[in-house]
Structure 1
Amino acid sequence: MGDFWSTTILNYCIALGVVLGGSFLGGIGAFFGNKPPMDAMLNLSEQLKIWALVAALGGTFDTIRTFEVHILGGELSQVFQQLIFILSAFSGAHFGTLLIRWLIQGDLGG
């Protein structure tokens, strides 16, 4: 069970890091490109959410294949674990977006 929790935390942190890192570095790029960095960071944080999920899960095809194999095999506990991994990655990506919004606008509204 320790491997399950470490993978869950790892998925969360990877997704969070993709959104934060991509947004901050994109903001630096926008600054050097003479564009408004704060606007670029807000837009990037929203656009990077799905890619953060994909990066954290190691590719969506593996996750979908795991669902297929375990549902057809009747191993519902494994399906539940995969759902937790997906929710963990989504939570990390969403929290990263909220952090960027809060840093720029001072607003955590949804």
Structure 2
Amino acid sequence: MDEFITKAAFSFFIAFGVVLGGALFAGMGSVFLMTPPKVKMLQVASNLKIWALVAAVGGTIDPIRVIESHVLVGYLSPAMQQIGYILFAFLGAHLGVELVQWMCSNGG
């Protein structure tokens, strides 16, 4: 169980960091290019959400293969773990988008 919690936490923070870091760097790039950073940060955060999820779960199709192969044989525990990792990664990416939206709404 400790291994699952550790991997789930890593999935969460990787997805969160991809969205937040990408949006912040897009905002810095917008400042350097003399364009409004708020719009670009919101756009990039929304676009990076799915890619943050992919990066957090491994960047390949392997998690889906694990789910398929174990469910077809009848082993649900490994499949549920992979689904849990995907859910934690989604929560991290979603929280990153929400944080960027909150920062942009308070920025004026």
Name the TM tier (shorter chain).
over 0.9
The DSSP-based 3-state class of the residue aligned with 1:48 is: helix
Per-residue CA distance 1:53-109 (angstroms, 9 max, x = gap): 000001240111111111122111111111111110000000000000111104xxx
1:67 counterpart residue number: 67
Q: Distance in 1 between matches of 2:20 and 2:77?
A: 32
Note the residue ranges of structure 1 that are not aligned, 5 or more in a row. Answer: none
Q: Distance in 2 between matches of 1:39 and 1:74?
A: 47
Q: Distance in 2 between matches of 1:37 and 1:83?
A: 35
Instruction: Please report the RMSD computed on the Cα atoms of aligned residues, expressed in angstroms.
Output: 0.9
Write the letter of the residue equivalent to 2:46: E
Per-residue CA distance 1:37-58 (angstroms, 9 max, x = gap): 1111011110000000000001
TM, length-normalised to structure 2: 0.94
The DSSP-based 3-state class of the residue aligned with 2:35 is: coil
Q: Distance in 1 between matches of 2:78 and 2:67?
A: 8
Q: How many residues align?
A: 106
2:53 counterpart residue number: 53
1:2 counterpart residue number: 2
Q: Distance in 2 between matches of 1:43 and 1:49?
A: 10
The DSSP-based 3-state class of the residue aligned with 2:61 is: helix
Q: Distance in 2 between matches of 1:59 and 1:100?
A: 23
Note the residue ranges of structure 2 that are not aligned, 5 or more in a row. Answer: none
Moved over 3 A (4+): none
Q: Does 1:12 align with 2:12?
A: yes
2:83 counterpart residue number: 83
Q: Distance in 2 between matches of 1:78 and 1:38?
A: 41
